[in-house]
Amino acid sequence: MKIHLKVWRQAGPTAHGQFVNYTAENVSPHMSFLEMLDVVNEGLIRKGQEAIAFDSDCREGICGTCGFMVSGIPHGPEPHTTVCQLHMRKFKDGDALTLEPWRSKGFPVLRDLIVDRSAFDRIIQAGGYTSVNTGGAQDANAILIGRDTAEAAMDSAACIGCGACVAACKNASAALFTSAKITHLSLLPQGQVERGTRVLNMVERMDMEGFGSCSNEGECEAVCPKGISLRNIATMNREYWKAILSS
């Protein structure tokens, strides 16, 4: 098949960007979306032009490195799928697609489709951990955790930190990302000691990074490749007010 692409090209963080048109020829339905772009890039390189910069690593949908907008939808139209796992069989011959980087004040563009997501690291640094040093842990079975609790914690912990939630949100809110970590740790006995300070510090950091507020649009949940639920945000808000009122 043949796919028409309109791709955001921007040479560097401060450079002026613009859309450029490309055509991907001979696209096989078995290819992943990124493999299709690999082939477009091979063609550009052979012509002595610089390839479209996009990031990816595991190409299995777990590392969270890849991600850009495909015609306005983060990671493209397939639910619960990162763009590296999106296959061309989901498209048809002649489709015209627009590729853009995540757009958010918290995620400055570095080049083409690549953005700087280091704000997510800083949100975790604000409290997304349990403060235990290596070596002093008690036996792993000493604290029982109900299966349902462990499973619920795992549902939240499954976040891959790709940033699609921010990209989908009209406020560019990082609430889904931040709340997933808060929920994961607040569900588990190990996370209780720092439960209050964690939520206060992480929320403060999230605001400082320039992400907007959550207004319950639900766009984040709809595009999340790991199906992280909007309920995490409700939990975060509850945890936040509990912490405020008890502090």
The footprint of another protein on residues 5-64 (CB under 8 A) is: 11-12, 28, 30-32, 34-35, 38-39, 41-42, 44-46, 48-51, 53, 55-64
- Among residues 39 and 200, whose Cβ is nearest to another protein? 39
Between CA 39 and CA 42 the distance in angstroms is 5
How many of the chain's residues bind another protein (CB under 8 A)? 80
Burial of 210 (0-12, 13-18, 19+ CB in 10 A): middle
Residues in 57-96 that interact with another protein by CB under 8 A: 57-65, 78, 80-81, 85, 87, 89
99 sits near another protein (criterion: CB under 8 A): no
What's the rounded Cα separation, in Å, for the pair 55 and 118?
A: 14
CB-neighbour burial class of residue 121 (10 A; exposed 0-12, middle 13-18, buried 19+): exposed
Binding to another protein by CB under 8 A, coded x per residue (else -) over 140-169, reads xx-xxxxx--xx-xx--xx-xx--------
Give dist(CA 29, CA 119) in Å, integer. Answer: 36
234 binds another protein (CB under 8 A): no
Return d(Cα 57, Cα 63) in angstroms, integer: 7
Q: What token pair was written down for 19?
A: 């859309």
Residue placing its CB nearer to another protein in the complex, 130 or 216? 130
CA Rg, the chain, in Å? 20
Q: Toward another protein, which CB reaches closer, 81 or 235? A: 81
| Cβ-based nearer residue to another protein, 147 or 217 | 147
Determine, following the binding rule CB under 8 A, whether residue 193 of this chain makes contact with another protein.
no
Query: Whole-number minimum distance, CB 216 to another protein, in Å?
Result: 26
